[in-house]
Amino acid sequence: MASTVLTDFSHTAERLTDRINEALAAAVEPGAGCPATLAEAIRYSLLAPGKRLRPILVLLAAEACGSHVEDAMPGACAVEMVHAYSLVHDDLPAMDDDDLRRGRPTCHRAFDEATAILAGDALLTLAFETLATRLPDPAIAAECVQILARAAGAAGMVGGQADDLDAARAETLREQFERGETEACLATLESIHRRKTGAMFCASLELGAAVARASSEQTEALLQYGTNLGLAFQIVDDLLDVAGDEAATGKRLGKDSERGKLTYPSLLGIEESRRRAELLIADACAAIQPFGPAAALLESLARFVQRRDR
Amino acid sequence: MASTVLTDFSHTAERLTDRINEALAAAVEPGAGCPATLAEAIRYSLLAPGKRLRPILVLLAAEACGSHVEDAMPGACAVEMVHAYSLVHDDLPAMDDDDLRRGRPTCHRAFDEATAILAGDALLTLAFETLATRLPDPAIAAECVQILARAAGAAGMVGGQADDLDAARAETLREQFERGETEACLATLESIHRRKTGAMFCASLELGAAVARASSEQTEALLQYGTNLGLAFQIVDDLLDVAGDEAATGKRLGKDSERGKLTYPSLLGIEESRRRAELLIADACAAIQPFGPAAALLESLARFVQRRDR
């Protein structure tokens, strides 16, 4: 059963990933005015092999609400651009200081720090340009810019990353942990992840819904799916950092414990973390039942997230 | 005559600056979800005293085309947010490595590097959110997002900054200079500045024109004004770096020659640079003659740019 689900999803994901990668490559064709090295760094970061989970969410949400994949492609490209920019900036020495990403040197390692900062800036800017230029209906375009900006900004992804880096907060968290206040720790962790990862998962689904002019009930259901999926994704990410395979994930593992960072496995243990992820995935799938068969692929995607090894 | 022009412009600028500063402060009210330190860094960078030249351009362009200042305010806020973000990122150690900006420690000095990177990211994101959320007509909002993104992105401001940092290009420039190929040097310098500074000047005017639903002739005239003004602004900036007053400019001067950077004064000498700036200002003013008295303030602003000491 599980393997059938994974196979089903793998086929769809492969088909969609090819189309997404084509659209992304077309969006960053080196053009007039962009310096060659910067263009190279942008392509290096955006076109690196990746799961393309967020753009797939955009496309599947749009399809579930009755729209065509092609109509949602600008939204799909935009979320992947924002995701790629966030990885480039998060990997910088002043932030997470990572050397390896998606199996290759991080952008500031392959190029240099200044180029990485600028490539990230350019990708973030390009995301909004893509929405405004490529979505033909200006009302939808403006709505999509709002959705993406709110999710990516200070109260969303950027805020989550700031909290995640906040040494004072890490100290509080550790003290709570040492006093055995597990629930308080979990609440803090969740509030970080809801913004750092969850906001962009939800935005992806909301973008798909906006392009398809979904009803507010449909959008609400997709957001509930996204919130649960995002948190499950993060727990699995933490689990992979403890027990994953560097070759499969393409990044250096064991970083969290090295940095003394509190994670789901360090708070709850591996088994309980797995159980929580399972429950969240079940909740995610329950939220989209009203869509019926139209949401079958979103359901497969959730199962894939639960079982992923990278 | 000159001093009357400056006084006229100073009055208008003061009036507009107050309104711009109010709108900017309102746009970065600390809200739910944004970590306190990040919110502080964003406010520190955006609300620092500044000339507000770009937002004033937005407002004056809109007025010249028959619109109200208040209608163009979201555009004015958005360009200042992009400007502020670009200063924060450009000042980073990996880029221009500056300690002083607008008379105060740069963002990464007052906070830390990670916070400065994230504050810049948040400001850039907020610029697009502001356009999409605060401009009531979605067609105008989508158009403004396009205008701003193109000007700020890889083929615009970010590309100009990348070229400016490019060591290989600096080497070529220096070799050209040593071979006495002044015109080739000037062309290279101009192509950097057209993107690094000029693109955002032009975008400011274009945003004002878009909000006012200006004719293409009006927009074209404003862009010609902006191109000349932007280049003049940069020449004056170079002149201030050589012969300015640190107290007035609020930044460390003499950096260009310290870094062996080619500038207009080092290529042309101080007198000839001044003459070029004057000619560009004259061209800028000529471009907006068709507006008649409606463009009087844009003309005063150009005179102010020529004579500014900060």
Task: Delimit the domains of chain B by residue range.
Answer: 2-307
| Cα(A107)–Cα(B7) distance, integer angstroms | 49
pLDDT at residue B2 tops 50: no
Q: Which of A90, A124, A193, A259 is most worth mutating to test chain B (most B CB atoms within 10 A of its CB)?
A: A124
CB-count burial class (<10 Å; 0-12, 13-18, 19+) for A125: buried
Confidence of residue A1 (pLDDT cuts 50, 70, 90): very low
Among B42, B118, B162, beta carbon nearest to A118 = B162
Question: Do A166 and B113 lie within an 8 Å CB cutoff?
Answer: no
Distance from CA of A175 to the nearest CA of B (A): 20
Residue of A nearest to B115 (CA): A162
Q: To 10 degrees, the CA torsion angle through B63, B220, B283, B146?
A: 80
Distance from CA of B182 to the nearest CA of A (A): 22
Helices A157-165, B36-46: inter-axial angle, 10-degree rounding: 110
Among B126, B153, B195, beta carbon nearest to A154 = B126
Calculate what percentage of chain A has a pLDDT beyond 90.
73
| Mean per-residue pLDDT of chain B | 91
The predicted pLDDT at position B231 comes to 95
pLDDT at residue A184 tops 60: yes
A5-19, A148-162, A195-209, B210-224: lowest mean pLDDT where? A5-19
- Measured at the alpha carbon of residue A54, what is the angle toward residues A52 and A55, in degrees to the nearest 5? 70
Confidence of residue B60 (pLDDT cuts 50, 70, 90): very high
Average pLDDT over residues A28-43: 91
Amino acid present at B268: L
Average pLDDT over residues B41-59: 96
If one counts every other C-beta atom within 10 angstroms of the C-beta of residue A97, the result is 14
If one counts every other C-beta atom within 10 angstroms of the C-beta of residue A165, the result is 20
The predicted pLDDT at position A258 comes to 66
Tokens of B269: 């000498």
The predicted pLDDT at position A31 comes to 79
- Give the list of residues 6+ apart from residue A310 with CB closer than 8 angstroms, or none: A51, A240, A244, A245, A248, A249, A250
DSSP A35-77: -HHHHHHHHHHHSS----HHHHHHHHHHHHTT--HHHHHHHHH
Confidence of residue A246 (pLDDT cuts 50, 70, 90): low
Residue of B nearest to A40 (CA): B154
Question: Do B159 and A115 lie within an 8 Å CB cutoff?
Answer: no
| Cα(B222)–Cα(B215) distance, integer angstroms | 11
* Size of the A and B interface in Cβ pairs below 8 Å: 163
CA proximity to A81, closest of A24, A15, A151: A24
Q: Which of A128, A143, A173, A202 is most worth mutating to test chain B (most B CB atoms within 10 A of its CB)?
A: A128
| Cα(A175)–Cα(A177) distance, integer angstroms | 5
Average pLDDT over residues A128-133: 98
Do residues A199 and A160 lie in contact, with contact meaning Cβ atoms separated by under 8 Å?
Answer: yes
pLDDT at residue B10 tops 90: no
Span A63-72, pLDDT tens digits:
999 999 999 9
Confidence of residue B183 (pLDDT cuts 50, 70, 90): confident
Question: Do B138 and A138 lie within an 8 Å CB cutoff?
Answer: yes
| Cα(A254)–Cα(A234) distance, integer angstroms | 15
Span B207-241, pLDDT tens digits:
999 999 999 999 999 999 999 999 999 999 999 98
Do residues B91 and B220 lie in contact, with contact meaning Cβ atoms separated by under 8 Å?
Answer: no
Among A31, A117, A133, beta carbon nearest to B155 = A31
- Give the list of residues 6+ apart from residue A141 with CB closer than 8 angstroms, or none: A131, A132, A135, B138, B142, B145
pLDDT at residue A86 tops 50: yes
- Measured at the alpha carbon of residue B187, what is the angle toward residues B203 and B225, in degrees to the nearest 5? 30
Do residues B126 and B140 lie in contact, with contact meaning Cβ atoms separated by under 8 Å?
Answer: no
The number of C-alpha atoms within 13 Å of A21 and in the hemisphere containing its C-beta is 13
| Cα(A174)–Cα(B92) distance, integer angstroms | 31
A49-53, A82-86, A166-170, B94-98: lowest mean pLDDT where? A166-170
The predicted pLDDT at position A2 comes to 46
Among A122, A138, A159, beta carbon nearest to B153 = A122
pLDDT at residue A133 tops 70: yes
Question: Do A163 and B39 lie within an 8 Å CB cutoff?
Answer: no
User: Which residues in chain B have their CB less than 8 angstroms from residue A162's CB?
Assistant: 35, 37-38, 114-115, 118
Amino acid present at B88: V
User: Which residues in chain A have their CB less than 8 angstroms from residue B94's CB?
Assistant: 112-114, 117
> What global pTM score does this model have?
0.94
pLDDT at residue B1 tops 50: no
Residue of A nearest to B31 (CA): A155
Confidence of residue A11 (pLDDT cuts 50, 70, 90): confident
The predicted pLDDT at position B5 comes to 53
Calculate what percentage of chain B has a pLDDT beyond 70.
92
The predicted pLDDT at position A303 comes to 93
3-state secondary structure of B101: strand
Amino acid present at B301: L
If one counts every other C-beta atom within 10 angstroms of the C-beta of residue A71, the result is 18
| Comparison of pLDDT for A102 and B157, the residue scoring more | B157
3-state secondary structure of B272: helix
If one counts every other C-beta atom within 10 angstroms of the C-beta of residue B69, the result is 18
Among B31, B89, B118, beta carbon nearest to A121 = B89
Question: Do A129 and B145 lie within an 8 Å CB cutoff?
Answer: yes
Do residues A167 and A185 lie in contact, with contact meaning Cβ atoms separated by under 8 Å?
Answer: no
- Give the list of residues 6+ apart from residue B216 with CB closer than 8 angstroms, or none: none
User: Which residues in chain A have their CB less than 8 angstroms from residue B146's CB?
Assistant: 129, 132-133
Average pLDDT over residues B142-169: 93
The predicted pLDDT at position A155 comes to 95
Distance from CA of B167 to the nearest CA of A (A): 12
Tokens of B297: 């303030």
The single-letter DSSP state of residue B295 is: G
The predicted pLDDT at position B67 comes to 97
Amino acid present at A119: A
Average pLDDT over residues B140-165: 96
Q: What ipTM, to 2 d.p.?
A: 0.94
CATH superfamily of B2-307: Farnesyl Diphosphate Synthase (1.10.600.10)
CA proximity to B177, closest of B240, B263, B274, B241: B263
Among A38, A117, A146, beta carbon nearest to B95 = A117
